Amino acid sequence: MRLLLTGGAGFIGSNLARHLLSQDGYEILVVDKLTYAGQSTTLRTLEGRPGYQFLQADIADAPAMAAALARFQPDAVLNLAAESHVDRSITGPAPFIHSNLVGTYTLLDASLHYYRALNPTRQRAFRFLQVSTDEVYGDLAPGDDAFRESDPYRPSSPYSASKAGADHLVRAWHRTFGLPVLIAMGSNNYGPYQHPEKLIPTVILRAWRQEAIPIYGDGSQQRDWLYVDDHVTALERILADGHPGESYHVGGHCERANLDLARHLCRLMDEFKPRPGGHPYAELIEHVTDRPGHDRRYAMDFSRLRREFGWEPQHAMEQALRHTVQWYLENESWWASMLDPKAE
Ligand code: NAD
């Protein structure tokens, strides 16, 4: 199967590319603009591997997308390219509109032209998989039922609004033009190769550097944490067995308040890299002014994925967090280049 995977130099995309290329039967063209969030070092373990190709390009560049599709002749397009950090979408929304909305539109349109030129057998097999997020639903109050695929979109931030808009475009390209699309909606991911600006790496790396660990507001915001390897296997199943035009939730069944999670990570750091004098890292936690429009709680009902595909997350959070902390402790050269891109 030939896959054109956008955003493959980012966190989830690179884990997905590594997972698929560890099996027989996949050829992958990673298309990535290499923004501050995507670094070639992230893909270094794939270089030279049979079946792997890389193209540096912007998904909003229509001629580049048309040429990539015509040359590579994929059986599916997986769109993970996006601006993904909520805080950046508040201080500067323009790149989010460019990559998440204009980029998704451009890729959809190029994919539709490509799809229309395929023979009927290849058309039946073709899929456009959009990787979306639980954040499009807005937030939940404590005790509310988890989000279901049928819930209305109520995004809160420029990030989630741009992702919601992208999903609407993807659905419209199915309803209006017949492009066989799938939408996978994941909850908060964690694991190796996540950019240092995101919550879990921030806590680990601030602790490592003995710096204050900022927690928004009272830290009671709840997220459903999903280990990236579980997300990746869900994406593989949705691509293989999903019904065109449908959305699928992917959750970790692991709700945690941000403050509890930060304390947990600090305890792991106490174990793996004790501070001089035996002081606990949790002393470094500092409450800072809450993010404007901060969603209180997300939770995903992923019973559809369970029922239809028998998919379950396979990683217990305690073990997966331990592995994640150890990975950051052992891969300073990777995250140091992300903190200071000039070092690349
Ligand atoms: P990331 O920020 O780590 O990676 C995004 C990648 O996209 C980077 O390599 C970047 O260079 C690339 N990119 C950005 N704009 C581009 C453009 N215009 N053209 C080509 N490449 C471009 O993000 P991530 O955490 O890996 O998220 C991947 C996808 O999954 C995103 O669509 C995100 O919305 C979605 N998602 C993420 C999470 C999460 O918790 N991280 C959860 C659910 C869904």
Instruction: Give per-residue pLDDT as tens, 104-150.
Output: 999 999 999 999 999 999 999 999 999 999 999 999 999 999 999 99
Nearest CA to ligand 1 atom 36: 133
Residues tagged active-site: 134-135, 159
252 neighbors 225 (Cβ within 8 angstroms): yes
82 Cα: distance to centroid of ligand 1 (angstroms) = 4
Say how far apart CA 235 and CA 252 lie, in whole Å.
Answer: 13
Task: Report phi then psi at 220, rounded to 5.
Answer: -90, 0
Say how far apart CA 72 and CA 68 lie, in whole Å.
Answer: 6
Which residue, among 255, 245, 241, has the nearest Cα to 305 in the 3D structure?
Answer: 241
Report whether pLDDT(344) > 50: no
Longest Cα–Cα distance of the chain, Å, equals: 69
* Residue among 34, 35, 193 whose CB has most ligand 1 atoms within 8 A, to mutate: 35
Report whether pLDDT(342) > 80: no
Nearest CA to ligand 1 atom 33: 84
Q: Is the CB of 60 under 6 A from ligand 1?
A: yes
SS3 135: helix
Which residue, among 7, 84, 74, 78, has the nearest Cα to 43 in the 3D structure?
Answer: 7
Say how far apart CA 300 and CA 231 lie, in whole Å.
Answer: 13
Average pLDDT for 20-36: 97
> In this predicted model, what pLDDT tens digit does every residue of 192-204 receive, in sequence order?
999 999 999 999 9
292 neighbors 242 (Cβ within 8 angstroms): no
Task: Report phi then psi at 255, rounded to 5.
Answer: -80, 130
Q: Is the CB of 146 under 6 A from ligand 1?
A: no
258 Cα: distance to centroid of ligand 1 (angstroms) = 22
> In this predicted model, what pLDDT tens digit does every residue of 212-246 receive, in sequence order?
999 999 999 999 999 999 999 999 999 999 999 99
User: Would the pTM count as exceeding 0.85?
Assistant: yes
Say how far apart CA 341 and CA 344 lie, in whole Å.
Answer: 5
182 Cα: distance to centroid of ligand 1 (angstroms) = 17
Q: Is the CB of 242 under 6 A from ligand 1?
A: no
Nearest CA to ligand 1 atom 41: 189
Q: Is the CB of 234 under 6 A from ligand 1?
A: no
Side chain identity at 27, as an amino acid letter? E
Q: Is the CB of 10 under 6 A from ligand 1?
A: yes
Q: Is the CB of 103 under 6 A from ligand 1?
A: yes
Average pLDDT for 47-55: 95
79 neighbors 106 (Cβ within 8 angstroms): no
Measured between alpha carbons, how far is residue 219 from residues 53, 216, 279, 318 in Å? 42, 6, 22, 20
- Strand ranges inside 110-177, DSSP E: 127-133
